[in-house]
């Protein structure tokens, strides 16, 4: 972990009194700054709050919103709430797992994609819903998904080419 990241973690920790009841606030702030909670930040939070490491990990794994590993460049979330599930959400997850070579809840080895499942996004009328990089895609199908992934790959390739020419 870089010196800057360590300093940022310490800044976050300094925002709260060093007591166990602030654990969740600290984890939320760390996740919001870094996108995930690293082992190093978890250890520092535990040192400061006095919460045992095993307890802090069980809290972090209980809440689906906390991540313990870094996210990929693109985050794809498939809704598996009841409406989306009934309209093929699980098939979309399996399709994405196959296309991206990654299991739901994981990040691809090249750090390009993180695939997650979520419960109802509050958009059941347009189910099944997939969210790619914070953008909602309604009434998703395997074909639309394929098209969207192609567009994403093309945009990344163009950006890489542009960066190479700069
Ligand atoms: S179940 Fe997917 S948006 Fe509600």
Structure tokens, 100 = 């991206």
Distance from the alpha carbon of residue 127 to the mean position of ligand 1, in angstroms: 6
Our answer on whether the CB atom of 152 is closer than 6 Å to any ligand 1 atom is no
Residue 3: band (very low, low, confident or very high) from pLDDT cuts 50, 70, 90: low
Is residue 157 domain-resident?
yes
CATH of the domain at 81: 3.40.30.10
| Count of domains for the chain | 2
Name the residue range of residue 128's domain.
74-165
pLDDT tens, residue by residue, 33-65: 998 999 999 999 999 999 999 999 999 999 878
Tell me which of 12, 39, 62 is where a domain ends. Answer: 62
Question: What pLDDT shows up at residue 146?
Answer: 95
pTM, two decimals, is 0.76
Residue 1: band (very low, low, confident or very high) from pLDDT cuts 50, 70, 90: low
Q: Which of 83, 90, 136 to mutate to test the pocket of ligand 1 (most atoms within 8 A of CB)?
A: 83
Q: Looking at the structure, tell me whether residues 90 and 137 fall in a common domain.
A: yes
């Amino acid at each position: 972990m870089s010196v800057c990241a360590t300093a940022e973690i310490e800044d976050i920790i300094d925002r709260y009194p060093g007591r166990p009841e602030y654990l969740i606030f600290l984890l939320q702030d760390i996740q919001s700054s870094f996108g995930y909670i690293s082992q190093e930040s978890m250890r520092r939070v535990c040192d400061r709050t006095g919460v045992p490491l095993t307890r802090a990990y069980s809290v972090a794994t209980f809440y689906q919103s906390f991540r313990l590993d870094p996210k990929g460049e693109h985050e794809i979330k498939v809704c598996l709430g009841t409406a989306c599930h009934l309209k093929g959400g699980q098939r979309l997850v399996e399709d994405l797992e196959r296309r991206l070579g990654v299991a739901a809840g994981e990040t691809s080895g090249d750090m390009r994609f993180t695939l997650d499942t979520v419960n109802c996004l509050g958009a059941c009328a347009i189910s099944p819903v997939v969210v790619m990089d914070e953008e909602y895609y309604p009434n998703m199908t395997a074909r639309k998904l394929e098209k969207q992934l192609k567009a994403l790959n093309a945009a990344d390739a163009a950006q890489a080419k542009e960066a190479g020419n700069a």
